[in-house]
Amino acid sequence: MAAGPRQSSGSSATGHRRKGGGKGARDRTANRRRRNAVETRSAILEAAERRLLAGGPDAIRLQEIAADAGISHPAILHHFGSREGLVEAMVLRGIARLQAQFLEGWPSAREPDIEGVLERFYEVASHRGMARMLAWLILTGESQRTMKPGLLKPAAERMHAGRIRRAQKEGRRSPELEETLFAATELFILVLGDSFFGPSIRRAIGLGGGADSTRRFRRWLSKVLERMESRRPPVVS
């Protein structure tokens, strides 16, 4: 007779454990479902970015990214269509960050804040893997799809407005828009190129490839760009 209640009690406890386990699983599922589309896309992109930084473009594997983001593989396909669609979204997100960092330099106390812009550029290009991603896209012939015409022009136009304000303040001739577009092109190429293979070149040329060499080079580069900016002739009255 006593065994019956003990067995019942044990079954009840087991039942409670099972119910508890089921509830935990349901809670995890519910948490996943609570993510809206924007949050899910962001979680996928952040997981993909971590993979990119850890192992380069070849590490962007949908099943592993899905596991990292806590979603299913089909969910990535739902939001991005394919691996190529995910890569394109990563590039566009990285370019948006580059532009945001670029635009923070204009207006500023110094117009343009060349050293500050370079530092912010390098943060996105180097530390977030943007330079590696763009180099991979160019080498595989995929850059035309993501680097659409005019994509970076808003940043260049803000740069142009800052250069005009500075020229007027210093009594120099204002630059033409095309001149600024060329300057912005130079800046993007310098930063992305240096982020991708600058340390290797500095090491090979005898400057060393460590952080101190990188800092010295970037400080020198900002001074060169500053001198170039201040060489424009004065306005003739």
Dihedral, CA of residue 168, residue 174, residue 178 and residue 181, to nearest 10: -30
pTM reported for the whole predicted model: 0.63
Q: Are 193 and 155 contacting, i.e. CB atoms less than 8 angstroms apart?
A: no
Give the separation between CA 165 and CA 153, rounded to whole angstroms. Answer: 18
Taking only the tens of pLDDT, the chain with its 237 residues reads 444 444 444 444 444 444 444 444 444 444 445 668 888 999 999 999 888 878 777 888 999 999 999 988 899 999 999 888 888 888 888 778 777 766 665 544 455 566 666 777 677 666 666 777 777 777 777 667 777 788 888 878 888 888 888 888 888 888 899 998 998 888 888 888 888 888 899 999 999 988 899 889 988 988 888 777 766 666 555
The one-letter code for the residue type at 177 is: L
Q: Name residue, tokens 């022009």.
A: 153
Residue 39: predicted pLDDT: 87
Residue 27: predicted pLDDT: 43
Structural class in CATH, domain 32-81: mainly alpha
Q: Name residue, tokens 């900016």.
A: 229
Domain segments of the chain as ranges: 32-81, 98-237
Q: Name residue, tokens 């290797």.
A: 200
Length of the chain: 237
